[in-house]
Structure 1
């Protein structure tokens, strides 16, 4: 038996509309499926759950009480004792020392008093730069200035002659000028004592002390015509080459 179709039931005009509705419905279902969230529910044993209760500590309200100390009592007044003095006071009369024009004054002549000047003892060493009479190196002659210059020249010659200059190269010091400062004293007898040295290496200091200790005995320096110790500073310059 053939199915009968109604001529009025024509769906072709609504085909596009049904197609769009189906497409919208499909897209909506896909979006909802993608955005759907599921949460894992893990229900633990309620018997093992321990509920901790917060402990509330009740703090009492405190109030600061200021203790006011009473002021100290005033000191007791000193007792004044009245002493009766029955002793008789004898007044002393001072005689006037003023002189009158008519009074004769005798002037006595006294012998001249010699002033004794104690000479100051010179115990401290005098620096070579300000010594009145410098020590005299053996063989030096001339006035004070010439003797002073001669001593310096002779000490320099002695150091140049006896100092081992090659020692600076052997120690492996950096290239350049190296200085060793030597301090010593020419005592009251002219001997060289208290030698000290300061330099870039201990061996150079030792060599400088050795050379200065070889200086000859000199005529001691004088300050106020008295022999004194004279302090002397000697710089020794060494050139270290490559």
Structure 2
């Protein structure tokens, strides 16, 4: 026998209604809790003390007391002063005048005049002279003037010296050395000619040839003209 269920007893048909009723109750309880008012409790007539009040410290008022200075007693009254006449004579100092009269003779010490001694510069070597002597026709820098000077002297000797003289004197064949030295003085003249040669006649010929050198522009040392020493060797070929 099969038991049949009454369709009215099925609760699933009322589940939606129960859920809506529960939701309404929950909203009501929440609203009632929000709207409920609360009041602070009072405890008799106690005064409320604020802890934030500033505590004021009482500072006693003091008065500055300045020390009393002792009063200085007045100076004593001076005794009666007696005036005594000074009988001592005072010697006056007489200051003599140092001015001289036009009629008086004045002794003046003699002033010795010192003559300035001109600095004497000795003869300077051609190799170290500041401003070299200039052979007529030479131009250029200091080194160029030196080179031109030597070339001009050699050319003058070769042109003026008698090349046949060594052969005429019967000297042995070969090369013969001749050393010549002279000085260009402060005026540019050739002086103090010295020669060393293998024969006295050759020496005389060399001196004669050097005396024919033209006048030079004198050399200068420290801006002043000075004597300049010059020397040069020559080679003679004897056949």
Q: Which TM-score applies when normalising by structure 2?
A: 0.50
Structure with the greater alpha carbon radius of gyration: 2
Q: Which TM-score applies when normalising by structure 1?
A: 0.49
